[in-house]
Structure 1
Amino acid sequence: MGGTTMRSKAPVVFSLLALFALALGTNVSGITGAATTYKIGFVYPTLNNPFFVDAQAGSDQAGKDFGATVTHVSGDNDVKKQVQLVENFIAKKVDAIILQAVDTQGVISVIKEANDARIAVFTPGESPAGGKVVTSVVFNEVKTGSAMADYLVKVAKIKPNSKVVMLLGIQGTETARNRQDGFKKTLMAECPGCQIVAEQPADFDRAKGLTVMEAILQAQPKIDVVWAANDEMALGALRAITEANRQKEIVLVGTDGIGDARTAIAAGHLAATYALPPFLQGYMVTETAIKYLQGVKVCGKIEERGLIITPSNVKDAERLLKAVDARSRYWESCYSK
C-alpha cells in the first residue's frame, strides 16, 4: 500500500514543482513548454559613451527579467560598420535585432535584409527612415533641447541679454539636429534679447568638448551660458571653463543625465542636465522585443520621458532613472493583454 501511494503522488508533486519553476521563469529539464531564452543582437552607435553603457546594463537586466541573451556590439559611430554588424546578426539567425542607428538613411537597406530574413527589428533613439521596424523607443529630441532652454529662462533666470554658447553633437544625425533646433527655437522665443555667440560641433565627445570650448573661451571675452547637447561635451567644457578660471560667470548645462554629470551637479560644478534615462531605454526596447517574440501584441512607438536633474533632486536621480517597478512602468500600455 505504502509503495503504491508514493508512486501515484510522484507525478503530481513533480508537476507542481514544474509549474512553480515555470512561474519563476526557470527552465526545468524534461518539461514541455519551459521558458524560452531568446537570442537578441543589439547594435549601438558606440559603447565608448557612458550613456550607451547604461543602456547596455538596462538591456541585460530586461534579458534577465524576461528571458533573453543579448549580445552587445559597438558601431564606433560608423554606419558602414553598423551595417556589417547587423548582417552578422542576420547570418547568426538571432531572434531579434535592436539597432540604434548612426545614420537613419544609411541603415535602410540592412533593415530590409533583416525583414527579408524574418528577423524582427526594434530601434531605440533615432527612427530609421525606411524598412520595417516593430517598435521604436524614442525621445522627442526637440523637446529635449526645448526643455533646457525653458529651464534656463524660467528657473535659472538667466539675464535677458545673456551671451550663449551652443556645443553641438554629430552634425547630420537626427538627435543632434533636433536637440539644437529645439534649444535654439525656444531660447529665441523666451529670451529674444539673448545672443548666441558661438555654435560649434564637438561630436558628443568629452575630449572635443574640451578643445572646442577652449577655443571659444579665447575668442569670447564674455559668456553667460553654455548649453551642451550631451553631458560628455558639457564635462569637457567644464574642464576648459575651470582651467580658464571662468566658472563663476558661466551657467553650464548638459543633456543625458549620465553619472559623471550628476556628480558634477552634486558638487556644484554643473547647473543641470536633462536626463534621458539610458538604462530605461535599453530596458524598454529589450523587454518589448522579448514580449513580441513571446507572442504579445506590442505598439509601434514608445515615447520616453525625460527629467531635469538639478541640485534639488540629484540625490534621487539614480533611483528615478532606473525605476522599473509596477508604479513606474508607464510603457506598460504598449503591450496588449
Structure 2
Amino acid sequence: MQRQKNWFWLIGVLVVALVSAACGGQQAAQPTAASEQQGSNAAADGKLVIGVAHPDFDDKWLSYLQDGMEQYAATQKDVEVIYVDAMNDASKQLSQVENFVLQKVNAIVLIPVDTVSAPEMVEKAKAANIPIIVVNRQYDGVENATAYVGSESIKAGLMQMEEVSKMLNGKGNVALINGQMGQEAQIKRTEGNKQVIGQNPGIQIVLEGTGEWDRAKGMTLMENWLQSGQKIDAVVSNNDEMAIGAIMALEAVGKLEQTIVAGIDATPDALEYVKSGKLQVTVFQNARGQGESGLATAIKAARGETVEKFTWVPYELVTKDNVDEYIQKWQ
C-alpha cells in the first residue's frame, strides 16, 4: 500500500512539473509590444518594414503629411510602416531612431524635430547600413542622408512676402510671426520674408515674435501686439495656423479689415479663410505629396534601388483668385 502511495505521489509531482513547464513556456512566448515591433521586420514575415520618426502627431500640417504616407502605404502589399511620435523632443526622437536601428527596420523616414539633432540620427542609421530619408525639414549636411524629400522653405517666404509687398504698394509696417525657433522652416521662411523687405525701403518690421506653429499661441501674440498700440499694416506668419490665430485677435477688436494677413501651407482651414477674404495670402505646401514621395523613396531605397538625392515638391501661391483650385486638391 505504501508503494502504491509513493507511485501516486511521484505521478502527481511529474504532472505538476509538466504543467508548470508548459505554463512557463507559454509565458515566455507572450510577446511584449517591443518584441512585436522587433519581430515585424523583413526577416520575420517577408515584409519590408519602414520606421517613420515623426516629430509631433498633434501638428495639423504634419498630420496631412502622414495621411500621404498612409495612403501610399495602403497601395503596397508587402510593406509595413511603423510611426512613432517624438512629441517635439529631440532626445526622444534620437532614442526612437536608435530603436529602429535595433529593430533592424529596412529604412527610416525622418522628419526632424530640429536641425541640430538630425545629423546624429542620420549617422546612427548609416552606421547600421539602413537607408534614411529626411522629409520636409532641411538642415546643413542633409546631403549625408540617403535622400531628402521636401520643399525649399526660403522660397515660401519669398513668395509670401513678395505678394504682401504688392498689396502694401511697397510701403507699410509689418509684424512677423515666427514658428518654433531654430527649426529649418522658421529660419528659412523668415529669411525669405526679410530678403524681400530689404528690397523695399518703404516696408519696415515693427514687431516680431514666435507663435510656435500654434493657432492659440499666434492669437495670444497678436493680442499682446494689439495692446501695445503699434500700428500694423500686415501680419506675415510662418504658417497658416498662427495666421488664423492672428485673424481671430484682429477680428475681436475690429481691426481685421485694415490689416493684411498672410500665412503658409494652404491647409483646408486656411483656404476657407482665404475664400472669405480674411486671409489674403497663403502658399501651398503639398503635405500629402511630400509624405507620399518620402515613403516611396524609402521603399525604393529599402529594396536597393537607386533614388534621387533631392526630390523637390514646389510651393504655389494662393490668393482669393485661385483658392477654389486648391480647395479641390484637399477633396
**What is the TM-score when the length of structure 1 is the normalising length?**
0.80
Q: 2:145 aligns with which of 111, 133, 155?
A: 133
Matched, 1:103 2:114: yes
How far apart, CA to CA, are the structure 1 residues paired with 2:82 and 2:327? 25
Alignment partner, residue 158 of structure 1: 168
Alignment partner, residue 28 of structure 1: none
**8 Å contact 2:197–2:204 — kept in the other structure?**
no
Give the CA deviation at 1:65: 2.5
How far apart, CA to CA, are the structure 2 residues paired with 1:115 and 1:263? 43
Structure 1 segment 1-337 matched on structure 2, within 5 A: 37-67=47-77, 68-130=79-141, 132-154=144-166, 157-189=167-199, 191-320=200-329
Alignment partner, residue 334 of structure 1: none
Give the CA deviation at 1:282: 0.5
- Name which of structure 1's ranges 209-218 and 168-177 shifts more when overlaid on structure 2: 168-177
How far apart, CA to CA, are the structure 2 residues paired with 1:91 and 1:115? 13
**8 Å contact 1:272–1:310 — kept in the other structure?**
yes
How far apart, CA to CA, are the structure 2 residues paired with 1:236 and 1:260? 12
Give the CA deviation at 1:167: 0.3
How far apart, CA to CA, are the structure 2 residues paired with 1:139 and 1:293? 23
How far apart, CA to CA, are the structure 1 residues paired with 2:170 and 2:155? 22
Aligned to 2:82, the other structure's residue is in SS state strand
Give the CA deviation at 1:320: 4.1
Give the CA deviation at 1:256: 1.1
How far apart, CA to CA, are the structure 1 residues paired with 2:227 and 2:106? 53
How far apart, CA to CA, are the structure 2 residues paired with 1:186 and 1:221? 22
How far apart, CA to CA, are the structure 1 residues paired with 2:281 and 2:82? 33
How far apart, CA to CA, are the structure 1 residues paired with 2:268 and 2:83? 21
Task: For residues 15-35 of structure 1, give each alpha carbon's deviation from its aligned partner in whole angstroms, at most 9, with x where no partner exists.
Answer: xxxxxxxxxxxxxxxxxxxxx
Identity, % of aligned pairs?
Answer: 30
**8 Å contact 1:227–1:253 — kept in the other structure?**
yes
The structure carrying a bigger helix percent of its residues is: 2
How far apart, CA to CA, are the structure 1 residues paired with 2:192 and 2:230? 27
Give the CA deviation at 1:321: 6.4
**What is the TM-score when the length of structure 2 is the normalising length?**
0.81
Task: For residues 92-142 of structure 1, give each alpha carbon's deviation from its aligned partner in whole angstroms, at most 9, with x where no partner exists.
Answer: 221111111122221322322211222110011223545841110132111
**8 Å contact 2:72–2:295 — kept in the other structure?**
yes
**8 Å contact 1:66–1:290 — kept in the other structure?**
no
Aligned to 1:271, the other structure's residue is in SS state coil
Give the CA deviation at 1:230: 0.7
How far apart, CA to CA, are the structure 2 residues paired with 1:126 and 1:88? 22
**8 Å contact 1:45–1:102 — kept in the other structure?**
yes
Equivalent AA in structure 1 for residue 91 of structure 2: K
- CA distance 1:104–1:266, change in 2 (3 Å): same
**8 Å contact 2:49–2:107 — kept in the other structure?**
yes
**8 Å contact 1:97–1:121 — kept in the other structure?**
yes
Task: For residues 252-281 of structure 1, give each alpha carbon's deviation from its aligned partner in whole angstroms, at most 9, with x where no partner exists.
Answer: 010111111111112221112111111111
Give the CA deviation at 1:318: 4.0
**8 Å contact 1:167–1:228 — kept in the other structure?**
yes
Highest CA radius of gyration, 1 or 2?
A: 2
Equivalent AA in structure 2 for residue 71 of structure 1: I
C-alpha RMSD of the superposition:
1.9
Aligned to 1:65, the other structure's residue is in SS state coil
Task: For residues 282-318 of structure 1, give each alpha carbon's deviation from its aligned partner in whole angstroms, at most 9, with x where no partner exists.
Answer: 0111011112223331111111101112222222214
**8 Å contact 1:167–1:229 — kept in the other structure?**
yes
- Name which of structure 1's ranges 207-216 and 61-70 shifts more when overlaid on structure 2: 61-70
How far apart, CA to CA, are the structure 1 residues paired with 2:327 and 2:304? 33
**8 Å contact 2:157–2:190 — kept in the other structure?**
yes
- Name which of structure 1's ranges 112-121 and 54-63 shifts more when overlaid on structure 2: 112-121
How far apart, CA to CA, are the structure 2 residues paired with 1:160 and 1:128? 32
